[in-house]
Amino acid sequence: MDYLPIFLDLKQQDCLVVGGGSVATRKVKLLLKAQAKVSVVSPEISDALGTLVKQGQLRWVQSIFKAEHITDQRLIIAATDNEQVNHLVHDIAKQKHILTNLTDNPDDSDFIFASVLDRSPIIVAVSSGGESPVLARNLRARLETLIPPAYSKLGELMGKYRETVKQKFGELRQRRQFWDSVLSGPIADHVMAGREGIAEQILQQQLADEIKTVETGEVFLVGAGPGDPELLTFKALRLMQQADIVFYDRLVSKEILALVRKEAELVYVGKQRAWHAVRQEEINNLLLEHAKQGKRVLRLKGGDPFIFGRGGEEIDTLAENAIPFQVVPGITAASGCASYAGIPLTHRDYAQSCVFVTGQLKEGELDLNWSVLVKPRQTVVVYMGLAGLAQLSQKLQAHGMPADMPAALVQQGTTENQKVWLSTIAELPELAEREKPIAPTLLIIGEVTRLHEKLAWFRSG
C-alpha cells in the first residue's frame, strides 16, 4: 500500500491554497465542504473564487507566493501552473512539518486527493495512488449506483441513536446484530423511500422492546425496462438487492435477473398470448400473502409497471390491505426501443404528438379509437400488436390512414437480438408473414420512422 487512507478533521482549521485558477478552485471548494478556514495566495483568482471572497467564505491574499505566507497551517495545496513555485511551497512547508499536496504531482506530494463520494456522514474515497485519476472517478461513479443519496439520512439516523444503542446493548456482538437488522430490514427500507419519520418510530419501538419483529413486509413494484440491464434505475437496482422473493414476468431478461439478490427466491408468473402461467388475480394474492409474512417482495415487470403492465391492479390490492409498497418506474418499451432504433417518437418536422395503444385482441377483435389514431403529424406506438397486425392494418386504412404511411417493427429492442424492419402500414402483414418476428415486438407508425436509417446508432449482435 503506497498511501495510508485517512480522513482529516479540518473544521475551523487554517488551510492554504497557493494558486487561483480552475484547479485551485476545485481544491478550495473541497476544503470548504470540509469546513476548513481557507486562504488563497495568488495575484489573480477565478470568478468562482472571487464570488466566495465576496461571500466571506474565503480569504484572498493578492500577491505572488512568499515564504512568509506559510505559518502554522494544518494543510497546504500548491496549485499554480508553475512547477518551481509549487516545489518552493512544498520545500518551505516540509521544514515546518506541514502536509502539502502538489496538484498533478503525486510523487512529490505528502498526500494525494481521492475521488470522493459524499453521502455525509458517510464518505467514500477512491484512489488509484495517482496512477489513474480517471479510473478512480469511474469507480466512484459506479459506487454512486450502489450508494444512493438516502444513505446520508440513514447515517444521520444511526449516528443519532449510537449512544442509545450502546447503552441498551452492553456487548459489541449485540450491537452489531442490532445494527445489521436495521440495515437489512424495514428501517433502512423506509429511510430509502423517504419515510424517515416511520423509520425512526420503528427504531424507537425496537429499542424499547415494544416489538420484536415487524410482521408486515413491503412490496417493491419495479419496472425492469425494455431489456438492456444498463437501463435499470439506481433505485431499481437497490431494491432488487433487498428482496426476499421475486415475482417476474417473461419480459425480464436473464441478465436482469442476475442482478437480483442471490439469496432471493425467484418465481415466474409470466404471461403469453393465449396462455397465462399465473392469472392476474393469483399474482395479486401472492404479493399480498408474502408481504403479510414479513417478506420484502419484489414484483419485477418488463418496461414500466404503469404502462400496459397492470401495475395499478396489483398495488390496488395492496392498498386495500394496508400493505406498504413502492413503485419504481422503468423505461417503457416505446421510448427504449424507439431510442435504440434511432426513431424519435416526436420530431419538429414530422410529429408533434405520440399515442400509445395495445394491440391485444379481445374476442378476436381490436377495439381502438381509430379516429384518434389516424390523425396527421403524430406517432402511434402499438404494444403487443403482432397477433392483430392484419386487422390493425386494414382498419387504420379504412379510417383514413394512407396506405403508404411508414411503419417500423422493432423486435426485442435494446438487446443483442434487436432487429428493425421498415415497411408501410399496408405492407406490414406481408412483412410479418415473411420475416416472422417474435415477441416482444413493438410497432411504430408514423413519418418519424423514416429517420431510422439516418439515426440508427445501436448495432445488435
Closest C-alpha among 381, 305, 302 to residue 338: 381
Q: How far apart are CA 279 and CA 262, in angstroms?
A: 27
Closest C-alpha among 440, 388, 14 to residue 227: 440
Q: How far apart are CA 455 and CA 448, in angstroms?
A: 11
Which three cell numbers, joined as nine digits, stand for 394?
386494414
Please indicate whether residue 271 is annotated as part of the active site.
Answer: yes
Q: What are phi and psi of 47, to 5 degrees?
A: -60, -40
Beta strand pairing call for 14-18 and 37-41: parallel
Please indicate whether residue 189 is annotated as part of the active site.
Answer: no
Was 303 annotated as part of a binding site? yes
Closest C-alpha among 123, 124, 186, 192 to residue 153: 192
Is the C-alpha dihedral spanning 75, 79, 85, 91 positive or negative? positive
Was 23 annotated as part of a binding site? yes
Which three cell numbers, joined as nine digits, stand for 67?
515564504
Was 302 annotated as part of a binding site? yes
Q: Which residues contact 21 (CB under 8 A, 6 or more apart)?
A: 46, 79, 80, 81
Closest C-alpha among 416, 251, 258 to residue 330: 251
Was 404 annotated as part of a binding site? no
Which three cell numbers, joined as nine digits, stand for 316?
390496488
Was 159 annotated as part of a binding site? no
Was 333 annotated as part of a binding site? yes
Q: What angle do CA 256, 257, 260 make, to 5 degrees?
A: 105
Which three cell numbers, joined as nine digits, stand for 191?
429511510
Closest C-alpha among 299, 354, 356, 297 to residue 332: 356
Please pick, among 153, 168, 271, 292, the residue that the annotation labels catalytic.
271
Please pick, among 27, 189, 228, 249, the residue that the annotation labels catalytic.
249
Beta strand pairing call for 325-328 and 353-358: unpaired
Was 240 annotated as part of a binding site? no
Was 304 annotated as part of a binding site? yes
Binding residue positions: 22-23, 43-44, 226, 302-304, 307, 332-333, 384, 413
Catalytic residues: 249, 271
Q: Which residues are annotated as a binding site for NAD(+)?
A: 22-23, 43-44
* Binding annotation for S-adenosyl-L-methionine: 226, 302-304, 307, 332-333, 384, 413
